[in-house]
Chain A
Amino acid sequence: MVRDCPQAKWFPSRHRFALFRLLALARARLSKPPKMEVDHLLLAIDPDQSAAEQYIITLFIIVTLTCYFASMVAWPIAFLIAATAIQAGIVVGGLVVRGATSKIHLKRNSFFLMTSMVATSAYFAMQTSPARYVAWFFLAMVSLNGLAWLILRILRNTVRELEAQCAG
């Protein structure tokens, strides 16, 4: 936990995906540091802490999957199927991918679901329906995330320096 250091809100280590970590780094470097608006502040340094990131990813996944199903059925039904498929995937993944501890279990299930999403996108990318554009976009985002990871590897000392601001 970081105490009374509002700058920590934009630490890359509070984000999960490399693309968001890179954006967080850019924001932390380029914009004014956030103000302290309360008496005291305790910020957790956890990669899943960013609300914006998680909401954007959720929206991205559900929209992508809805587009895939919409190439087969009507849009409202496609949305319902997409929402149900995600929930079913979580349960199936949760039962199949067993981990010794809760943390490992969650990691494995996350990997299982994201891999399923990439595999589904690869399948639709090879089809002739308009859904292939959505699939290409999804795969492009995955590639971009990989690129962001490489950039962050190069900038790791900058990240370390930034995050040292709130140390102690």
Chain B
Amino acid sequence: MTGWWRRFLVRGVFWRQFLRFGAVSVPPWIEPLVMAAWSLFFLLWGPGRRGVMRNLKAIIPGSNGVTNFFRCYRVFWNYAWTMTDNLHFKELGVVPDWEFVGWQHFEAMQASGGAILLTAHMGSYDLGAHLFAETSGQRIVMIRAPEVDPQTHAFEEAHRVNALKIEFNVKATDLALDLLHAVRDGGIIAIQGDRVTPGIADLPATLFGKSTRVPAGPFALAMSSGAPIHPVFVVRRGRRLYRLVSREPIRVPATRSRDEAFAAAVAEWTFELEDVIRSWWYQWFMFEDFAS
């Protein structure tokens, strides 16, 4: 797809530029109104809305379409706030309040000397990274899927926080060795484990009773490095208030039966993921049907 107008598509760069303008122009005392209006506007994004509503049907069994439409609005509302908090941090240096739950697991991760942080599409990368900088001296490498739109990708790259090292997950084998070295050198690799990017190796999983796929990378990395996988979630609890939830680490033993070891680890991961999503469904920014 080419043409000047592609910047106005839902993943186009115009909206990121407009959001940035909003972040430095909207006084905090009128922000809720602006958020409410723009969250409503983005409900016009049909594929995203339908994706969220289908996911909600699976997360909340027996829920009906009308209620899920309003729930979907809540997801969009939270997403808008999360993106804005992220920009406020980048542009104005504004940091939110943080709550920690499962601190012992978080401490164990920091003390372990090389770990894999497995998370979901919740909260914000940059805010999470800032928190790491505040509480830990360890190097953190974040793996994320690149933006679909090249202009949006370039814009995000130009405005990212310098202290954070981000690698883009584009091919199955591209990063494997670098990441293995990083873990062995005591670094923390942060990966989102709830969505698979096309072209990336994956593993079968069951989430909310539906078949889905999760990235194979973190599990293979855990097996080859011997480092534990730490499920960590950043949940937005309110205006400028986030909660970091750390769960018990998952170990992936290096055995002959790789498939069995992977299946057991994936089951542990999806159990934690389901538990967190069930509690904070309005925080799961999954705009595609996870079962597709």
Contact = CB atoms under 8 A, between A and B. Distances in A.
Q: Do A and B come from one complex?
A: yes
A132 B155 CA distance: 47
Contacts of B34: 86-87, 90
Interface residues of B, number: 35
Contacts of B29: 16-17, 48, 53-54, 57-58, 61, 110
A106 B27 contact: yes
Range, interface on chain A: 35 or more
Contacts of A51: 238-241
Contacts of A55: 32, 239
Contacts of A86: 30, 33-34
Nearest to B32: A58
A42 B244 CA distance: 11
Nearest to A92: B25
B33 A39 contact: no
Contacts of B30: 57-58, 61, 86, 90, 113
Contacts of B238: 51
A38 B25 contact: no
Interface in B1-50: 21-34, 37
Which of A55, A59, A83, A106 counts the most B-chain CB atoms under 10 A from its CB?
A106
Interface of A: 1, 16-17, 38-44, 46, 48-49, 51, 53-55, 57-59, 61-62, 83, 86-87, 90-91, 93-94, 102-103, 105-106, 109-110, 113-114
Interface of B: 21-34, 37, 91-92, 94-104, 131, 134, 238-241, 243
